[in-house]
C-alpha cells in the first residue's frame, strides 16, 4: 500500500506561524490521527511552518482538509488569504536527498578584463619648444 502525503504550509503574517502551531498544532494532529493519518512531520523555517501528514488511503488524505477542525485551524492562520498552502505530496520540508555544497565565491580580479584598444584616430603629438637664439 502506497503512502499518500499531504502538506500544509503556513507562512508568517501578523504573528509568527510558530505561535499558530502552538495554538492549533495539537488539534490538527488529533484530527489527522483520528481520520487515518499514520505519520506526521513538523518543519520550522524562517518564513513559517510546514506540516507533512502521511495517510494510508488517498480518500482519507483528500477528505482531511475539509474537516471542520482543519478548516478552523487554517482560518486562524496568521495570513489566511495568501499565507496558507495545502497540497498533495511532500513539500517545503522534504528537502534534497543530499546536502547542497556551496559554490566557490569568485575572487575580485580573478579574471583580468581585456584592455581597451586605443582608438587609432586619436593621435597626440607634442612638438618640442623651439627657442630662437638671439644674435
Residue with the larger pLDDT of the pair 127 and 18: 18
pTM of the model: 0.66
Nearest to 68 by CA among 15, 5, 24, 4: 24
Nearest to 88 by CA among 106, 67, 64: 64
CA distance 20 to 77: 6
CA distance 23 to 26: 8
Domain ranges of the chain: 23-88
135 pLDDT higher than 60:
no
CA distance 60 to 51: 16
112 pLDDT higher than 70:
no
Nearest to 85 by CA among 45, 56, 55: 45
Mean pLDDT of 126-135: 60
48 pLDDT higher than 50:
yes
Half-sphere exposure of 134 (CA within 13 A, CB side): 0
Amino acid at each position: 500500500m502506497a503512502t499518500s502525503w499531504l502538506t500544509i504550509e503556513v507562512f508568517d503574517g501578523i504573528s509568527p506561524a510558530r505561535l499558530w502551531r502552538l495554538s492549533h498544532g495539537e488539534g490538527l494532529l488529533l484530527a489527522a490521527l483520528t481520520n487515518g493519518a499514520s505519520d506526521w512531520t513538523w518543519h520550522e523555517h524562517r518564513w513559517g511552518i510546514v506540516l507533512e501528514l502521511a495517510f494510508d488511503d488517498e480518500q482519507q488524505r483528500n477528505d482531511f482538509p475539509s474537516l471542520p477542525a482543519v478548516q478552523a485551524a487554517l482560518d486562524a492562520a496568521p495570513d489566511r488569504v495568501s499565507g496558507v498552502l495545502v497540497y498533495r505530496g511532500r513539500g517545503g520540508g522534504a528537502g534534497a536527498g543530499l546536502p547542497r555544497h556551496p559554490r566557490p565565491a569568485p575572487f575580485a580580479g580573478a579574471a583580468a578584463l581585456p584592455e581597451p584598444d586605443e582608438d587609432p584616430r586619436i593621435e597626440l603629438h607634442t612638438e618640442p619648444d623651439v627657442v630662437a637664439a638671439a644674435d
